[in-house]
Structure formats: structure tokens, C-alpha cells
Amino acid sequence: MKKLAVVAFGGNALLRAGQKGTIDEQEENAYKASENLLKLMKRDYNLVLTHGNGPQVGNILLANTAGYKMYGVPDMPLDISVAYSQGFIGYMLEQQLRNVLMKEDMERDIISIITQVLVNKDDKAFKNPTKPIGPYYTKEEVEALSKESDAVYKEDARGRGWRKVVASPKPMMIYNQKTIEKIAREGHIVIAVGGGGIPCFFKEENKLQGIDAVIDKDLASSLLASHIRAHKFFILTDIPKVFLNFNTPQEKALDRIKIADAKRYLKEGQFGEGSMAPKIKAAVKFVEHTGRDAIITETNLLGVDNGGTRITLV
């Protein structure tokens, strides 16, 4: 039986810092990312792909706001914007991955699933927004924007600017995960849990409703990977490895982290809440639940021996 891998793409893997966000840019990034997936497929893995949407959903919100101000187009809430992003990113990934497969004379069905994820409406995250979305701003731009709305902005840990932050509640349950597993184990490629999933809660018994939030895609992907019994969980980011003392003269790359050490580093504040901390937490949860390894790395090192940082049980 083929092994099953869950591969979580960051939204920044498809729309990189400094890019405008044109469809040509994102399609080129998606094509390059898809080329790297071949390394896993050639190692006999079935695939479930998940993806972030931080840059994209922020841009969708900006377009919504502009449409409302200029033309009176009804503004859409954040959960609907997440659904928008799932649709267009899923389409883009599916198309570019199919282009790569055709070039290699390989054939697979690729299925994008619009995915809802249950959250707790009383999650403390709603009072402490941490999830960055949208473009980077200068401090002066943020000061001007803050006068126009009650949005919250925080400075990027890597000094790239300021970004809007929103609530990021913990994922509790992923809908349709049994179907996702079944389709993937049959040899088809599944794209699911886009942007961490569309956040929803029970407004009352037997009545689901969306809520303004963006779920961390790594935590949602970890939950999915655990429940569908994945053999490997890959978290892709824009740096090759996890670092201690990141972005300082004392920074040190880590090839392997035992989960006990990972928890200690988290307590020490080694990893930023808006960047690496959720990835480490997601990796730890997967390893604890399954006993199998999680790997954090950049797209180009996907499937490379000893590539990235491996998080292990012991």
C-alpha cells in the first residue's frame, strides 16, 4: 500500500513578499511548487495538499472594502473571504499541478474540496488576534490605516513591515475528512483545508454559521494528517530549516528536534507566534498523535534526504 503524505503549503509559497499578487506571479509559484511534489510522488506517496491564504485573503478583504466604498457592493465577512480563497487557490494549484503531471506523462485525478472547520466561538483567540493577513505596510501607513478602522496591526518578526492580524481559533473538527482520506488512498490528489478551513461554529443546535477568523493552516493540517493516518506531515515555509535565535548573530539551524525539546523552545519564546510557533505546535501535535515524523522545510527541499528540520518523538 502506498504511503500517505500531507503537505501544507504556506500562503507565502504562492504569493511571496515583495510580489504584487498578480495571477501570473502566483501561477508561476504554484507551478514551481508542483514540480517539487513530484519528488514525493516518485517515492510512492499518495498526497493530500493543504495551503495557507494569509496574503490572498488579506487582498480579498481589501478588494471587498474598495468595492463597498466606491460602488456600494455589499462587503463580505471574513469566513466568506476564506471560502473565496479556497476556490481560487485550489483551482490554481490543481491546474499547475496538472500541467506538471502532463509534462511528466503522469495522470492523476486532482480534487479540490471546499472545507469547513469547526471552532469554538468562545476561543480566547477572538480576544487576542495573532494571525497576519494581507500585504506588508510601513509604520507610517499603519498609523494612517488605524485611524480609519479598529483593525489590529503587528510588526513582522523578520522586519519586513507591519501586517493586519485577525483571530486564529484552534481547529476542533474537520468536515469530510473520511472522504478526503478515501479519495487520497485511492491514488487521487486531494487539495483540502485551504487557508486552515472555513471557520464555523454552532450558533444553535443543528445550525452551523461562519465566524470572522482565519484558522492557522498548519494546526488544521496537523489535525487532518493525524485523523487520516498520514505517514508523513510536511510543513512548507520560506526558510530551509527551523532556527534557534532566529535573525540574530547567534542563530542556529536545527536538523532534528525531539518533541520534548520543541516544547521547551516554545516556552522559551524561541518561535514567533505569527510565524514559526504555530508550525512547531502543529508538528508536535502530529508526532504526539501518530508517533511519526513531521518535517518543516522550504518547497525546494521537499522530498530531499535530510532536507529541512525533522521533528521526532524521541
In the chain, % of residues over pLDDT 90: 78
Long-range contact set of residues 63-69: C-beta below 8 Å, sequence gap at least 24: none
Give the list of residues 6+ apart from residue 262 with CB closer than 8 angstroms, or none: 280, 283, 284, 311
Domain membership flag for residue 7: yes
Q: Which residue is catalytic, options 241, 279, 281, 285?
A: 279
| Range(s) of the domain holding residue 241 | 3-119+169-312
Domain membership flag for residue 135: no
pLDDT at 15: 79
Q: Which of 128-132, 216-220, 226-230, 284-288 has the lowest mean pLDDT?
A: 128-132
Domain membership flag for residue 175: yes
Active site residue 245: no
Report the greatest alpha carbon distance in the chain: 58
Q: Which of 156, 230, 151 is nearest to 190 (CA)?
A: 230
Q: What is the pLDDT of residues 262-277, one digit of tens each?
A: 999 999 999 987 689 9
- pTM over 0.85? The answer is yes
Residue-averaged pLDDT of the chain: 93
**Considering Cα of 168, then 171, then 176, then 180, what sign does the dihedral take?**
positive
| SS (HEC) of the chain | CCEEEEEEECHHHHCCCCCCCCHHHHHHHHHHHHHHHHHHHCCCEEEEEEECCHHHHHHHHHHHHHHHHHHCCCCCCHHHHHHHHHHHHHHHHHHHHHHHHHHCCCCCCEEECCCEEECCCCCHHHHCCCEEEEEEECHHHHHHHHCCCCCEEEECCCCCCEEEEECCCCCCEECCHHHHHHHHHCCCEEECCHHHCEEEEEEECCEEEECCCCCCHHHHHHHHHHHCCCCEEEEEECCCCEEECCCCCCCEEECEEEHHHHHHHHHCCCCCCCCHHHHHHHHHHHHHHHCCCEEEEEHHHCCCCCCCEEEECC
- On the question of pLDDT at 1 being above 70, the answer is no
Q: What is the pLDDT of residues 67-91, one digit of tens each?
A: 988 999 998 999 999 999 999 999 9
Domain membership flag for residue 145: no
Number of domains making up the chain: 1
Active site residue 39: no
Give the list of residues 6+ apart from residue 307 with CB closer than 8 angstroms, or none: 240, 295, 297, 301
- If one compares 122 and 135, the residue with the highest pLDDT of the two is 122
The mean per-residue pLDDT over the stretch 6-32 comes to 87
- Which CATH number goes with the domain that contains 307? 3.40.1160.10
Q: Which residue is catalytic, options 29, 36, 46, 131?
A: 131
Domain membership flag for residue 136: no
Half-sphere exposure of residue 157: CA atoms within 13 angstroms, side-chain side: 16
Provide the CA 9 distance to its chain's centre, in angstroms: 6
Residue that is written with C-alpha cell 522550504 in the block: 298
Domain membership flag for residue 50: yes
Active site residue 12: yes
Q: Which of 96-100, 120-124, 141-145, 198-202 has the lowest mean pLDDT?
A: 141-145
Domain membership flag for residue 220: yes
Q: What is the pLDDT of residues 222-241, one digit of tens each?
A: 999 999 999 999 999 888 99
Domain membership flag for residue 127: no
Q: Which residue is catalytic, options 29, 59, 196, 217?
A: 217
Active site residue 217: yes
Q: Which residue is catalytic, options 2, 12, 99, 161?
A: 12
Distance separating alpha carbons of residues 111 and 91, to the nearest angstrom: 9
Active site residue 11: yes
Amino acid identity at 225: A
Q: Which of 57-61, 90-94, 170-174, 300-304 has the lowest mean pLDDT?
A: 300-304
